[in-house]
Amino acid sequence: MPAYDLHSHTTASDGTLTPQALVNAACKAGVDVLAITDHDSTAGLEEAHRAAQNLPLNVIDGCEISVTWSGSTVHIVGLNLDLAHQPLQQGLARLREHRKERARAIAADLEKHGIGGIYEKVVARVRGGLISRTHFAHELVALGKAASVREVFKKYLVRGKPGFVAGQWAQLEEAVDWITAAGGQAVIAHPARYRLTRSKLIRLIEAFRGCGGEAIEVVSGSHSRDESFTMARHARDFGLLASAGSDYHGPENPWVSLGDLPQLPQGCEPIWSSWQR
Ligand code: AMP
Ligand code: MN
Ligand code: MN
Ligand code: MN
């Protein structure tokens, strides 16, 4: 069976590998099918396809859309998108614009907390036209404010800490519509990461399915084995397909490797069972 990794990032969003370098690394890691799912952008895919032309690797056109749902930020992955679809591209462009405003607000809040002049430094780190909290995290580490990106996300940029600004992202229904209208399949990314109560998670899954969502990420680089089993049960109970992705952001994060994912739990219907190779 081919090896699938259906969630990954490049320098087009907050990954540290260029699309070409990511494709090469995935190939070396034994991945057969790689979805590139940058935050709110599909800008890395053209280079990725060029890089994969003479490699035994199939690149899937994807993205990871930031959504505000019921007061929580959740991520919806789209797979097999028509990248030329205008409503999708206009929606993503709107979110990237919002990211610029949010970045100014994050910098202003950090300034209030004694970390001044960070905005220009963070902008200088952006390589693919999209600014994220990860870019702030790298700069805060460089400034010695934290020992690691992980530590940054404990001390800064999160609710109740300096530099937290709640994003106003897409609505769930909009994001699923952009994906499905572009011929793609919508997937709830890393559902265990949101720390929702069981009943709120079920409300999310029902709302998602109600607007045409098809799958949930059962296996994720950020799920424990237990969390995968829980999500597998939800997928089965709600008649959703199961996806699997590392959420790889680059070699700096040693906890997550490309393509090194456990099998989907028994009884899941893989999202790729419907794909033609
Ligand atoms: P943004 O979409 O700009 O709000 O940034 C979200 C990104 O920050 C995620 O996709 C992760 O790459 C990164 N991130 C969030 N929390 C953490 C964490 N605890 N450790 C490392 N990276 C994180
Ligand atoms: Mn990220
Ligand atoms: Mn995510
Ligand atoms: Mn991701």
Per-residue pLDDT tens over the stretch 216-253: 999 999 999 999 999 999 999 999 999 999 999 999 98
Q: Which amino acid is at 135?
A: H
- pTM for the whole structure: 0.98
Three-state secondary-structure class, residue 105: helix
C-alpha closest to that of 248 among 82, 87, 44, 46: 44
How far apart are the C-alpha atoms of 55 and 173, rounded to whole Å?
37
Give 39's DSSP letter: B
Tokens 């090896």 -> residue? 3
Residues touching ligand 1 (Cβ under 6 Å) are: 14, 39, 66, 132-134, 149-150, 153, 249
What is the best residue among 66, 99, 134, 155 to mutate for testing ligand 1's pocket, by most ligand atoms within 8 Å of CB? Answer: 134
Q: Which amino acid is at 1?
A: M
Residue 247: what pLDDT? 98
- C-alpha 190 to ligand 3 mean position (Å): 7
What is the best residue among 14, 16, 76 to mutate for testing ligand 1's pocket, by most ligand atoms within 8 Å of CB? Answer: 14
Judge contact between 68 and 207, C-beta under 8 A.
Answer: no
Judge contact between 8 and 258, C-beta under 8 A.
Answer: yes
Q: Is the pLDDT of residue 277 over 70?
A: no
C-alpha closest to that of 236 among 266, 210, 263, 208: 266
Three-state secondary-structure class, residue 95: helix
